[in-house]
Amino acid sequence: MPPISKTFLPLNTQGGNSQLPIIGFGTYTISDRKTILNVLDVALGAGYRLIDTAAVYNNEQYIKEALQVLLPKYNLKREDLFITSKLAPKDHGDEKIVTAAVQRSLDNLGTSYLDLYLIHWPGAGRIDAKSPENSKLRNLTWKTLMKLHDNGNGSLKNIGVSNYTVKHLNEILADPTNIVPAVNQVEFHPYFQQSSEFHKVCKNAKIVLQAYCSMGGSAGKNSLLNDEVINRIAKKHSISAAQVLLRWAIQRNYAIIPKSVTAERIKINFDVETELTKEDIDDINNIKHKEKFAWEPEVIA
């Protein structure tokens, strides 16, 4: 078996045989030119090949500039990377609006294609969360993304969603003319494990799940990293709490996109080869504390 860091999850996208690296590098909240260059230098050197960004992160341009320097340094080509970006909520809408948003991301990143493009949020910007207009706009958006995907021949090699709940997913799946999302990127960690219904819907539709907030993010204030169960398991295997959390997500069949601006942590987060036992997984699954750290998509109509 290849090491976990070189493992890929097959995507269901029509017209392609794409695979998603199981570990990627997240860039949320990293919006400084110099920091982007430094962290991507460490990440590519460590072996990361998936870079996750979004229009609202305001760092796509800096990623382009960094890659112009770093690809030659590491003897890499664009096709060696898997780049994900996401549509901003304000850009939900008709074909003209969505196409322009995609083109902005392509231009900002200096690439003719994206390996994966996600609808970042099921709600549209500047519209009340409970408005039925959200449903109408996100469905229009999805139809345009399907055109830009063009059966694998377009500028979007794979298309997916982020923060979609069961009701949002079922909306897409109910229309037989729709492409099934390749990926749903969602909050997932021991304190917020998503519902069995959610996992069933994604599994049946062959939607790959990608976790964000694996270690709690800034809102988590290190509560996951300090959790008693997580640290007991970390000590048992002589690994870090972060490595336990990331490996747990992988063994729960999630891809991961950990983020750090610290060189040592970037490297450690990529080293998740230590397999957790069934008992370890069960103990983490059964942690009683429940807490959601990120946004709540359930409120979006």
| Residues of each annotated binding site | 120
User: What string of H, E and C letters represents the secondary structure of the chain?
Assistant: CCCHHHCEEECCCCCCCCEEECECEECCCCCCHHHHHHHHHHHHHHCCCEEECCHHHCCHHHHHHHHHHHHHHCCCCHHHCEEEEEECHHHCCCHHHHHHHHHHHHHHHCCCCECEEEECCCCCCCCCCCCCHHHHHHHHHHHHHHHHHHHHCCCECCEEEECCCHHHHHHHHCCCCCCCCCEEEEECECCECCCHHHHHHHHHCCCEEEEECCCCCHHHCCCCCCCHHHHHHHHHHCCCHHHHHHHHHHHCCEEECCCCCCHHHHHHHHCCCCCCCHHHHHHHHCCCCCCCCCCCHHHCC
The catalytically annotated residue of 28, 48, 57, 113 is 57
Summarize the annotated binding site for substrate as residue ranges: 120
Yes or no: say if 41 and 74 are a contact pair by the CB < 8 Å rule: no
Question: Is 74 an annotated catalytic residue?
Answer: no
* CA atoms 239, 223, 45, 86: torsion sign: positive
What residues contact 264, with CB distance under 8 A and at least 6 apart?
none
Active site residues: 57
